[in-house]
Chains A and B, each alone.
Chain A
Amino acid sequence: MLLLEGGRVVCPRTGRDEVADVLVEDGQISAVGPDLGRAGLRAIDCRGMVVAPGFTDLGTQLCDPGETWRESLETGSQAGAAGGFTTLLLSPATLPVIDDPSVASDVLLRASRASGSRLEAAGALTRGLKGEELAEVGLVLEAGCIALSDGGATHVDTNVLRRALEYSRPYGSPVLLRPSEAALEADGVMHHGQVSLRMGLRGIPAESEEIGVGRAIALARLTGARVHLTHITLARSVELLRLARRAGVAVTGGVPARSLVLTDEAVDAQEYDTATRVLPPLRPEADRAAVVAGLRDGVLSCVHADHVPWSRVEKEVEFEYAPFGATGLETAFRAAMTGLEGDVSAVVRALSVGPAEVLGRAAEIAPGATGDLVIFEMDEPIVVHGPFRTRGVNEPLVGRSLLGRVVATVVAGRVVYGPITLQG
């Protein structure tokens, strides 16, 4: 049994926002209300803090199996716990790719032993994530995967994507896609615009994402697939999604947390820092503001960590030669809190409720719900610094002053991060 005592309980699904105790028994929330404490209970003093349903990340790259010098199931799970995440949905982009039931079984078996965030997995939509042949999505889902994904590798062949969406629809799982027209990404290394021209770096036009969003919406309509777009970073993408939702197309959208606080100016300000080289690239201020507004008005339902860890071997190189990606598990909450200007309810909707709903789950604090909880505070902005639990060295938010701090993370009633005391 675990008591979360005296915190501000914020649960957007039930509409609860009040100071209360939360009691967790046998992995489930058993009671929410005043004065649930009694002697001998293990407790966390949550006074002055927020208690919310735990965060869920969609598409986390933990590079295990295959590239465990970058991250492992265990270090990633620990990093997730430190970031307030109770569930991480692993990206299938591993070596080998999770496109086969035996790989899925192996990953899920080892994942079940991770000590931090609960780890679940998405299977690949196409074999090897190559966008050429359909993967055995039925067998992979049967092996325990709970979603399908392009793993961030955009489909070059639109017809293969169409067939993959048609084929996988009867299995009923959501499909995660990174919207992009790959050919326009070709030799670009950052957002094409004033900053790229000024810095002498080849740009990726925003139209790459715009075309990707348009294509995904059109195919979701054509196939009836339930599509979630994991990387929405443009004002125009938000508008396309708004129109699609209005037309009744089953498509949802999320934004990488860092895109709520960083713009393409960061590439210049941080002097070709390879941690700022991400896909989709950091955008100008107008787009940053538009995705924040999209989260506020509900067109976008999720914030993602977009965790892509790299070691110094890969990232301590020339900007033009570095791979895309940045870490995010340990900073996503703080980036979201800062980008959403301390709007606790909006942050919880975007990190807890929205991502869980994509998976067909309800993230809430009510009797009978899973005991997945996060406790955080948000007094003063704190400068982001290491050491981090992730093995990745590519955190572009280091040195930024961000709002919010995760105090404790509870997975199925077990404290996987943070302090605990015995109540007297």
Chain B
Amino acid sequence: MMRKKRILWICNHVTLMDAEVPLLLELGFEVYVPKKFPKGSEFVSCVSKDIYDPSLTIPPEDLALLNTVDFYEDHFSDEVIDAINRNFDIAFCTFYEKPLKMLVRHFPGQIFIRAFGLAGKASYWNVAREDWGLHFLDQMQSIRDRLFFAMSYRNMLKVEKNLFRENAVFLPLGLPETFAQRLKDGYTGTRRQILFVCPKICAVEYYYNAYKKFKRNFWGFPYVIAGNPFGKIADRHLLGYLPRAEFDRVFCESRVMYYHSVEPRHLHYHPLEAIYANQPLIFMSQGMLGQLTPKVKYPGAADSILEAKIKVGRVLMNDRRFIRDIQESQRELLQFFTPEYVKSFWLKNFMPLIEDGAKDPANAPVTLNLPVKNEAEKQEKTAEKPAPSPIVAEKKEHVGLILPIGYRGGTLHAFLQIAKMLKACGYRVTIGLPEDYLDRDGIYYFPTIMDDVLRILDKDSDIPIRFYEWRKMSPEENSTIRELSRLPEIRDQSLANAIMDDHVNCFCECDRWLFVSDRFFSGIPIPLRPYSVVVYDFLQRYMPFQLLPPKFENLYTHSTRQAESLFVTNPETANDMIVYNGVQSRKIFLLPFEFTADEMEKYTALNRVPFKCKRPYIVWACNRGWHKNHVRVLHALIRYYSEFCGQLEVYITGVETSDLDYKKKNKRDRDEEKEKSSALSSLFGEKKKEKPKPFLPQHIIEFRELFRKNKEILKKNVHIKGEMDRYSYFDLLSGAEFLLLSSLSDNGAFGAVEAAWLGTPCASSDYPHMRYMAKHYGITPLWYKGEKIDSITDTLNMMPRCSEEYRKMLPSRESLEAQSYEHHQQSIQKTLREAWT
């Protein structure tokens, strides 16, 4: 015997659950209802019940796993997704972003979106488009044969569009058997007052407005307002939160209920409760209750506020006959909610959809009453029964991997490693590089970039590469492009937006973008495709002065907040991002460090001779950035040589470290000299195009000054090597006593790992990011306090003594190799599956 079909029913609303789940059980399904849901005003009428679990035949371990999941807010881990896919055939889901995106992307069975109507003319389709992104709509389109819009009210079709209109199924809402039983005919009407039920006044704008409007309209009438307002509001008519029994008493005692809603597509439960209680109900004709029977106007219906007031007044004046009319007539409205009525629609509309095998053609038109275009053609199609569309997540997407700024060194390396990894994971990749590299006047000018890129990409050099430039959008252009691509309008006009102009298609042939680094100087990328960002560090946060004007900071922040998901390689950076940018932690995913043992292995295979020096020496690897703490380290070195007669020599190396040399002339000075010499010629020539002049930051000037003052001591001991090629650097490093890392804060320095490979211990300033990295690779650096010059001097003093000891503690090459980026493919694939919904 075939097993019963199983339904995953993601909706915890108590009344709905009590009505619909028993119905589904009766129709012959097994139903699973989530057990956990978040706290908050949205979930106030939700409960978790496990009374339906005994009917389930899924393995207990899967059940236990699913019971721990919050389907509304949690991440769906791989295991949970697999458990869902393994055990369920059909999914019902309320219109909530997280679970719905998961289902659409990963679930292979039929998906029913349970919708209960929105206010006014708002439609679910529009909400999905504006808030959840166009990409998601595309995903829904791709599984259109098994995605259904299960609307509760027929007139929702009037506003729904596209897929939601075509695949709409009318599944009316039922009321549970126990509904309003306590109130049944309990109406006494002893108090001369209107009952107006309006919850969540302080939490939801809609109810607040309804409350205000009611107060304005019924000024002078005796009334009470029931419902938990979720806050303090000074109004003696408000009953606030009442216990159930008390509420029922007020309910029955009030003479009349007024139901304000003019929403044709949404209905609350409390007017139905009033009908059950036999309480006269005055409602608006424009609302759902008035629209149920378009041809009849009930005595309780009012076309306008004035009419409502008159009718309410009549009831309050105890017009017996009128009250009886209302009571008798309104009972007819309940026919639309009886179990028989509801069940008939479920049988007619729902069952044929999920039954496999041959269909009875008579029952075929299940969707709606729209004219069917070609009956015969449709029947043919159903007879063929094509295989259901594949799972969205299994389709490997096309990722546009984009570098926002012309980085070199570590970030470029990491960027290309990510490209290789994405390709290995089965994604189609297109690389986007900024035109900064080719801009002759810019600070990122690097004409041989392509050679470097291709060399690192190695066997993956077939990945297409395009250059692009950031194009800033004017506010008008911005709103035009958003209008054309149907993106939601931006509210804050002060934030610049930009697109990547690659002279082809702005990378729009990709399904999604992945930016490596969050430095969007030119503006927030317009989310024509969903994008993610790999964020490396928050250096600007740890500096005592402003690195960037707040305008740029806001650009970075908003581009990360707008991103679909964010990746970090260090959990400490994730913490920075949560606190500094205020993003939600559930958007952030951890990827492994992009360290590759490849290069090191090649170097080792060459068996090169280490650098030789008469005296023992250390290598200070740094760059030009402030966070490298140059001035303090130099102070420490001066003290080390002058007070302690230190014997260690120091070699400074790294990108742009040649700027630290005081003898080297500033490029600007040189330019000025040149200009002076050519001033005469330029008098007659045409005006020169002004070039942006690279200037030295203050801390470098300070460093140079200090160096020059103490050059007698330092000249012999400190050597500035500037930028070296990799292998010479490794030669230098492998002969050194120690590697000195001087960052005060960053994402962690790979230099430590390379040094460990070459058998050189390192000394590092103590900060959480580096702590994590060292622990990750099993390295024990010689820690010091980078903020204190004394601490650095002490460390320098300690180095010759403890060099051997620290050398012994270094991890083996095998263990480092095991941490190499290539070995993490499995975990990366898993992370991407979770992150990219």
Q: Do A and B bind each other?
A: no
Interface residues of B (CB under 8 A from A): none
Interface residues of A (CB under 8 A from B): none
